[in-house]
């Protein structure tokens, strides 16, 4: 239950709080409306949610510079929204989107959103690289795990191409 965490967050200075990390060992759905209504929400720069399954729309998180969330499922429009957002960025940003279920919609149609992968590892890890103006680069990594659950997209907009590269590692 999030009530104790929300009570602690409420007691903190909303202007000083820049990062929220919430974690649980149990997989449970999280009512995110409570957190988004707090005055702290507009000042948050880093949001890391582990274990909880977020049901709020992706649009509620897209303004944050660094996000890690898990959703029950995602859609092709979700991916198109994130791609469009990242292609328009002029600053660094990281968005890690994990999702539990994929009945094949994402796995079978990911190329329709991102085109041909720039690199692939065993067909389950794909990466796309989109050079942008100046020294900016937008990368997407898709990790498709065994079966139809626990997949992950990492969207990354970076300035220094040499220091911040996603490395494709095989999945055991």
User: What is the value of pTM for the model shown?
Assistant: 0.84
Taking residues 131-142, report their average pLDDT. Answer: 86
Tokens found for residue 148: 């139809």
Positive or negative: CA dihedral 105, 50, 97, 144: negative
Q: Is 31 helix (H, G, I), strand (E, B) or coil?
A: coil
User: What is d(CA 32, CA 30) in angstroms, rounded to the nearest whole number?
Assistant: 6
Query: Rounded mean pLDDT of 139-147?
Result: 82
The contacts of residue 90 (CB under 8 Å, 6+ apart) are 136
pLDDT-based confidence at residue 170 (cuts at 50, 70, 90): low
- Do 60 and 36 form a contact (C-beta atoms < 8 A)? yes
pLDDT in tens, 10-55: 889 888 999 999 998 888 888 888 889 999 999 999 999 998 999 8
43: three-class secondary structure by DSSP = helix
Q: Does the structure show a pLDDT above 70 at 75?
A: yes
**Which is nearest to 15 in space by CA: 45, 40, 47, 48?**
40
């Amino acid at each position: 239950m999030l009530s104790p965490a929300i009570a602690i967050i409420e007691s903190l200075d909303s202007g000083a709080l820049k990062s929220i990390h919430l974690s649980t060992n149990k997989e449970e759905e999280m009512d995110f409306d409570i957190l988004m209504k707090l005055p702290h929400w507009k000042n948050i720069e880093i949001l890391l949610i582990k274990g909880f399954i977020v049901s709020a729309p992706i649009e509620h998180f897209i303004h944050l510079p660094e996000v890690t969330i898990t959703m029950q499922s995602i859609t092709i429009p979700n991916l198109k929204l994130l791609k469009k957002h990242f292609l328009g960025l002029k600053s660094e940003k990281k968005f890690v989107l994990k999702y539990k279920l994929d009945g094949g919609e994402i796995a079978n149609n990911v190329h329709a959103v991102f085109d041909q992968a720039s690199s692939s590892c065993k067909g389950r890890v794909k990466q796309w690289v989109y050079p942008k103006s100046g020294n900016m680069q937008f990368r997407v990594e898709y990790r498709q795990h065994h079966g139809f659950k626990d997949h992950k997209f990492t969207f990354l907009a970076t300035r220094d191409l040499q220091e911040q590269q996603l490395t494709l590692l095989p999945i055991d």
